[in-house]
Amino acid sequence: MKKQEIRDLYVQCDCGAEHIFITPQDFDNLDEGLYMAILANEYAKVSFWNRFRHIWYILIHGVPYTDQVCLDYNKVKQLEKYLSNYITVTDFMKKTK
């Protein structure tokens, strides 16, 4: 197994407003790890209720949130498969060093 077998993963939120980006990352003086980011899609068409919920949250709490992602079962399984593959490949690489 080679590290190149682990590709980047993009999973879009069910509301279409954000997506998760995951990529393997080598950190300075640390073990290998994953870089994960939640990215907002500025041009997504968000439903009226989601916009209303967002505005209501800002009015009540004073801070808009942009760090939540809604995933259906299939996307959760895709994420699980990706992370499982990452662990398998990384463990194999460590054993062969």
Note the pLDDT tens digit of each residue in 10-56: 888 877 777 888 888 776 656 677 888 877 766 556 678 877 877 88
| Res 81 pLDDT > 90 | yes
Domain coordinates of the chain in residue numbers?
Answer: 3-95
Q: Judge contact between 11 and 71, C-beta under 8 A.
A: yes
Written as one letter, the residue type at 83 is: L
pTM of the predicted protein model: 0.60
Q: What are phi and psi of 24, to 5 degrees?
A: -65, 145
Question: Is the CA virtual torsion 74, 77, 79, 81 positive or negative?
Answer: negative
Return the structure tokens found at 83. 């992370």
